[in-house]
Amino acid sequence: MPLRCLVLASGRGSNFQALLEASARPQAPFTLKALITDRTPCGAEALAARWQVPAECLPYRDFSTRAAFDETLAHRVRAAAPDLVLCAGFMRVLGPSFFDACPAPLLNIHPSLLPAHRGLHTHRQVLAAGDAFHGASVHWVTRELDGGPLLAQARLAVAPEDTEESLAARVLKLEHALYPQALAYLTEGGWNAPPLTLGWDGEALVPWP
C-alpha cells in the first residue's frame, strides 16, 4: 500500500511539484493526500489546486506565538492522519509544542550534505569552506535543527567556476530527483534502512562512489 503523505510547504513548491509528478507514475510508492502552507499566496498552493490536492493555509503571522502556531499545525496534521509528513521548502522551524502534540513521522530535504552546513545559505557556506562536494540530504525531522537521522543523500562535485547561484540551480535539480527516490527507498527497505548514498551526474542519480 502506498504511503499516504501530507506535505508542508512555504514557497514556490518546486519540490512539491517533483513529488506530485512522481506520485502520478504507475505503481508509485506514495500518494500526496494534503498540503498545508504557512503563507498565501504561494506557488505550492497553486500547484495543489491544479493537481486537485486538498490544501489549507495557516498563516504564521496570524498567530501570536510560535507555540500557538505549532500546536495548531500539529492538530491539523493529526486530523489528516498521514503515514508520513513531507517538508518541502517549509520555512518554519518546528518547536517543542509541535513535537509534543504530533505523533506523525516527518521527513525534510535539506540542501547540504548533512551534518555539514545546517541552516540557511548552504551554497554560500560550501563555497566559503572550499568543499569539494555539495548536495542534498533527506533526513528525519527531530527537535534538533537539521539534526535528524539520514534517510538518503546525493552529492555532486563543486566546480571551480561555481557561484552561489549555479550551485543552487544544480542542487535544486538534484533535490527534485532525490526526494521521490528516498521515498521509494523507504518503502523498499523499511523504516530502519541504512542511509542511501547516491551521486548526481547532472541529469540523473547514480550509485556512489
What is the full per-residue pLDDT of the chain (209 aa) written as tens digits? Answer: 899 999 999 999 999 999 999 999 999 999 999 999 999 999 999 999 999 999 999 999 999 999 999 999 999 999 999 999 999 999 999 999 999 999 899 999 999 999 999 999 999 999 999 999 999 999 999 999 999 999 999 999 999 999 999 999 999 999 999 999 999 999 999 989 999 999 999 999 999 98
Domain 3-207, CATH class in plain words: alpha beta
Distances from the Cα of 99 to the Cαs of 77, 102, 128, 137, 197, in angstroms? 11, 5, 34, 21, 28
Distance of CA 205 to the CA centre of its chain: 17
Q: Where are the domains of the chain?
A: 3-207
In the chain the first and final C-alpha atoms are separated, in Å, by 32
Catalytic residue among 110, 117, 139, 176: 110
Verify whether residue 110 is a known catalytic residue.
yes
Amino acid at 147: G
Cα gap 118→104, rounded to integer Å: 23
Contact (CB, 8 A) for 182 and 138: yes
Measure the CA dihedral 44/51/30/139, to 10°: -10
Please state the pTM of the whole predicted model.
0.97
Amino acid at 107: L
Give the residue carrying C-alpha cell 493555509. Answer: 57
Which helix (H) or strand (E) segment is 52 a member of?
A: none
